[in-house]
Amino acid sequence: MKTNNINIKSNQLKKILLLLFICLNISTSFSQQKVELKGVVLDEFENPIAYAAIGIPSKQIGTATNDDGAFSLKISSENIKDILEVSTIGFKTYKIKIEDYINNNVLKIVLIEEVVSLAAITLEKTNSIVKKALKKVKNNTLSSKHQINMLYRRSSVENGKTRFMVEHYLNILDYGPSDNRFDEIGIAESRKSADYRFAFKKQPIHAVYIMGQINPLRQRIYESDYNWERDGDTSYDGEDILIIRGTKKDQKANKKENFIKLYIGMDTYSVYKIDVSRYGNEFSNLKAFYIYKKDNDGQLVLSYHNREAKFRTPISEQKRKLLKLKTRFVQSSYRHEGIVLNIESDKKKFNIQNTLYDKKDIGDYDIKYNPIFWKNIALPPATKFYKKSVKELESIYGVSLEDQFKSVNK
């Protein structure tokens, strides 16, 4: 009889433990569920606001709006109680509890333009402002070691049509723009379209390295090498910003001058945005910009990068005749986009996959294709250029981009 009682209690205990195990799994599964936030950011006149920073600064999670003001952000259900922030230059920062955003079915966020008072005060000399801003880069940006998780894409355009595109999900170890190079870079995930190019211009290193190399904050520029002039004013998160344009002193007279623009906060001397414009010669030119946003501690981190380099590429006589070109050069361009999805500051959580060691073009890396990853990742809404690139790639032979991904990638 005692034996039966022991067996009964043992079975009951097993059932209780099994029930607890199931409940724990359900609880864990629920806590890991993803919630997708979608919406559009507009000004008071219903105009879309491009490249606004969207995210949870306290968790270093975020994305940027596309050129139509649309955004998409996947978060964990654990973040429901957190605050969603929307910030961009020229407008007041918008904050809302994510729980309220979901419950109120908010699909449209309207940002209010911020009044600038710089015109009414006497400013110090522009070169002095730039000098202070460059000196304070390390203090004003996240300069401790951290991991940037970034969606990076490049489209190759030849003769007016996109003929190749590659997308990488990158893990980058960095010390911020106060360091002139990235510490380590890994390609966690990759996919590329079919390659329809006929002029194969290669870049000697991964394109994200070039993103760092042409950033004026990483180049160690000196304010004394430029002529600086006021180019306007705006604001960011309650701080007045002066826009200062710099042209190189030793450059030759040119109708299209090489210049950089720095958007500098007048309270902190933080650099919130950078515009770069370079005209080499008749064969090449470059336009790029970098947008920074504040993290939970008020330090700046990269949010979005965009650049387009235009050039002319030589092609063979046979291809020239095939394309019915009058010259032996074809007009080409590279369009780059880098969107920071989140930043990890906990060194124990750093995870760099497929570290880059080879110096080769972004399109020449062969990383195993993981369709499940690309299906589940919260990609930002497509920009106009990206949509145009996809349409042109699909029109060449009538093959969908998804089918190209499946057939081309390993």
The DSSP symbol for 237 reads T
Residue with tokens 């690309």: 374
CA distances from 378 to 111, 139, 340, 375 (A): 24, 31, 12, 8
Mean predicted lDDT score pLDDT of the chain = 87
Q: Percentage of the chain surpassing pLDDT 90?
A: 61
Range of the domain at 384: 143-220+272-408
Res. 352 pLDDT band, cuts 50 70 90: very high
- Lowest pLDDT segment from 21-25, 40-44, 320-324, 362-366: 21-25
**Cβ neighbours of residue 331 under 8 Å, at least 6 residues apart?**
158, 159, 160, 310, 312
For residue 274, give the 3-state DSSP assignment. strand
pLDDT score for 184: 94
**Domains identified in the chain, total number:** 2
User: What percent of the chain has pLDDT above 70?
Assistant: 88
Which positions ≥6 away from 87 have C-beta within 8 Å?
52, 53, 93, 94, 236, 237, 293, 294
Do 349 and 389 fall into the same domain?
A: yes
Q: Which tokens is 310 given?
A: 């235009």
Helix (H, G, I), strand (E, B) or coil at 182: coil
The token duo for 367 is: 């990383």
Average pLDDT over residues 338-353: 94
Q: The whole model's pTM is what? A: 0.87
Residue 384: inside a domain: yes
Domain-ending residue, one of 93, 114, 135: 114
Strands 53-56 and 83-87: antiparallel
| 12: pLDDT strictly greater than 70 | no
Does residue 147 have a pLDDT over 50? yes
Question: Quick one: 92 and 170 in the same domain?
Answer: no
* Arithmetic mean of pLDDT, 58-81: 90
Structure tokens at 316: 């063979």
Q: Where are the beta strands (DSSP E) in 175-225?
A: 184-192
- The Cα–Cα gap between 318 and 257 comes to 37
pLDDT tens figures, 162-208: 999 999 999 999 999 989 889 999 999 999 999 999 888 889 999 99
Position 249 scores a pLDDT of: 85
Q: How many CB atoms lie within 10 A of CB 226?
A: 22
Residue with tokens 């952000």: 73
Same domain, 157 and 106: no
Residue 183 lies in a domain: yes
Question: Domain of 89: which CATH number?
Answer: 2.60.40.1120
Which residues have CB under 8 Å from 166's CB, separation 6+?
153, 154, 190, 191, 192, 193, 362, 363
The Cα 286–Cα 333 span in angstroms is 9
Instruction: Note whether 150 and 197 are same-domain residues.
Output: yes
**CB neighbours of 382 closer than 8 A, spacing ≥ 6?**
66, 390
- The vertex-189 CA angle with 50 and 358, nearest 5°, equals 105
| HSE value, Cβ hemisphere, 13 Å, CA-based, for 39 | 26
| Distance from C-alpha of 52 to C-alpha of 171, rounded to nearest angstrom | 22
Give pLDDT tens digits for 86-131. Answer: 999 999 999 999 999 999 888 899 999 988 777 655 568 999 999 9
Whether 327 is covered by a domain: the verdict is yes
Is residue 11 domain-resident? no
Last residue in a domain, options 114, 133, 151: 114
Say yes or no: 110 and 171 in one domain. no
Determine the Cα–Cα distance for residues 389 and 361; give it in Å rounded to an integer.
Answer: 19
**pLDDT of residue 399 exceeding 80:** yes
Are 314 and 403 part of one and the same domain? yes
pLDDT tens for each residue of 256-298: 678 999 999 999 999 999 999 987 665 568 999 999 999 989 9
Residue 148: which H helix or E strand, with range? strand 146-158
Query: Tokens standing for 49?
Result: 């606001």
For residue 385, name the pLDDT band (cuts at 50, 70, 90): confident
Asked if 49 and 198 sit in the same domain, the reply is no
Task: Calculate the alpha carbon distances from 184 to 173, 181, 257, 334 in Å.
Answer: 5, 9, 34, 24
Q: What is the pLDDT of residue 9?
A: 47
Residues 100 and 191 in one domain: no
Rounded average pLDDT over 317-336:
84
Return d(Cα 358, Cα 377) in angstroms, integer.
27
Question: Cα dist. 216→211, 236, 307, 311, 398 in Å?
Answer: 10, 20, 14, 22, 42
Tokens of 314: 């030589």
Residues 186 and 307 in one domain: yes
Give the CA distances from residue 66 to residues 69, 116, 164, 280, 291, in Å, rounded to whole numbers and listed in that order.
Answer: 5, 25, 21, 29, 13
Q: What is the pLDDT of residue 391?
A: 95
Asked whether residue 216 falls in the same domain as residue 91, the answer is: no
Does residue 390 form part of some domain? yes
Question: Both tokens of residue 159?
Answer: 């003769």
First to last CA, the chain: 65
Tell me the pLDDT tens digit for each residue of 358-378.
889 999 998 889 999 998 888
Residue type, 328: R
Answer yes or no: is 371 within a domain: yes
Question: Is 380 domain-assigned?
Answer: yes
Decide if 125 is inside a domain: no
On whether both 282 and 150 belong to a single domain, the answer is yes
**Could you tell me if 340 and 397 lie in one domain?**
yes
pLDDT-based confidence at residue 32 (cuts at 50, 70, 90): low
CA distance linking residue 281 with residue 258, whole number of Å: 11
